[in-house]
Amino acid sequence: MKSSANLGFLFTELSLPEGIRAAAGAGFDAVECHFPLDMETDAVSTALQETGLSMLGLNAGSGERKKGDFSLAALPDRAQEARAAIARTVDYVVAT
């Protein structure tokens, strides 16, 4: 059986790269996270390469969470913003 650590809930006291390393140390086979787009791609990519873990999933930007936004794709009047968030996420995935 293989398992993935959701770094939105586990190792939250650590930076994303350190959380990846902690997940590997705890025996996880992969990681996923919520909103990593503010973290440098080089640091995340290095941690993934060092540990051999895969990034299974991450969320596209959801707007301004402090204002209560949690999804843009479901809001017709914010479709352009949702497309931009998805494009930014794809760029992040490619870079990591």
The confidence band for 49, taking pLDDT boundaries of 50, 70 and 90, is: very high
Write down the pTM of the prediction: 0.81
Report whether pLDDT(5) > 70.
yes
In this prediction, residues 72-86 reach a mean pLDDT of 80
Secondary element (H or E) of residue 84? helix 79-95
pLDDT of residue 58: 82
27 φψ region: left (φ > 0), alpha (ψ -120 to 50), beta (else): left
pLDDT of residue 63: 62
d(CA 84, CA 87): 5
pLDDT of residue 67: 60
